[in-house]
Amino acid sequence: MSSGHFKQDLFAQFARVGKALSNGNRLELLEFLAQGEHSVDALAKVSGLSVANTSQHLQQLRQSGLVLSRKEGLKVHYRLSGEDVVELMSVLRRVAERHLADVQQLVQSYLTVKDELEPVPRDELLERVRDDLVTVLDVRPPEEYAAGHVPGAINVPLDELEAHLEQLDPGQEIVAYCRGPHCILAFEAVARLREKGIAAHRLEDGFPEWKAAGLPVDMAG
């Protein structure tokens, strides 16, 4: 049993997962799936890809083991195959951010205020939520909020931020989060709140990382 091929076969299998991560559009689809289950055409809409193309990418993801699908009536719903996929994406992000100058440049030019925002670590937020010291804002679309959110968080999509300003306790600190560590929505929300003189911070990562860390999650209402 020449085990000489074993190593190569095994690495070839690992490479299947690597291949799934080798395309930007697939990574974007994975980030949407990390927010919760989505149908093919919902994913096609948010990603801006054609339906056929989206379907093909999703099938590749399924073959690589990163997602699972479920048919319900006309629709096919895709979801991540486990929380470990969120962890894989997180580590991929971190490695890229640490070792690729282009990523550092992109983050700097689009998320300029990054350093000034003093992001709040997950555990710290959890404590402050328990002690009722902060108002937590979920700035994602309502569907994603409904599929799961940080306990006690209020869903305020970015374009409704101004309308909700008056309902917020101006004395209490605000922490905003969205899809992930590089999601601009939370950055933008914090920037706008600070313009109004409100003490606002950003959660270090987004909801998927919160959930993957095993922290408590609220659904729907």
Q: Catalytic positions, please? A: 178
Window 23-42: residues binding DNA (CB under 7 A): 23, 25-26, 39-42
Q: Is 73 in the site for DNA (CB under 7 A)?
A: yes
Q: Which residue, among 88, 100, 111, has the nearest Cα to 14 in the 3D structure?
A: 88
CA distance 45 to 60: 19
* Shortest distance in whole angstroms from residue 16 CB to a copy of itself: 7
* Shortest distance in whole angstroms from residue 198 CB to DNA: 40
Cross-strand pairs, 174: 135, 200
Compute and round to an integer the Cα radius of gyration of the chain.
19
* Shortest distance in whole angstroms from residue 108 CB to a copy of itself: 12
Window 158-217: residues binding a copy of itself (CB under 8 A): 182, 184
Tokens for 58? 């999703």
Q: What residues contact residue 215 under an 8 Å CB cut-off, 6+ apart? A: 122, 126, 150
Q: Is 81 in the site for a copy of itself (CB under 8 A)?
A: yes
Window 96-155: residues binding a copy of itself (CB under 8 A): 96, 98-100, 102-103, 106-107, 110
Sign of CA dihedral 196, 202, 207, 213: negative
* Rounded (10°) angle between helices 51-63 and 4-20: 150
Q: What residues contact residue 191 under an 8 Å CB cut-off, 6+ apart? A: 113
CA distance 204 to 88: 17
Among residues 37, 41, 87, 173, which is the contact residue for a copy of itself, using CB under 8 A?
87
Q: Is 13 in the site for DNA (CB under 7 A)?
A: no
Q: Which residues bind DNA (CB under 7 A)?
A: 19, 22-23, 25-26, 39-42, 44, 49-53, 55-60, 69, 71, 73-77
Q: Which residues bind a copy of itself (CB under 8 A)?
A: 1, 3, 6-28, 31, 64-66, 81-82, 84-85, 87-88, 91-96, 98-100, 102-103, 106-107, 110, 182, 184
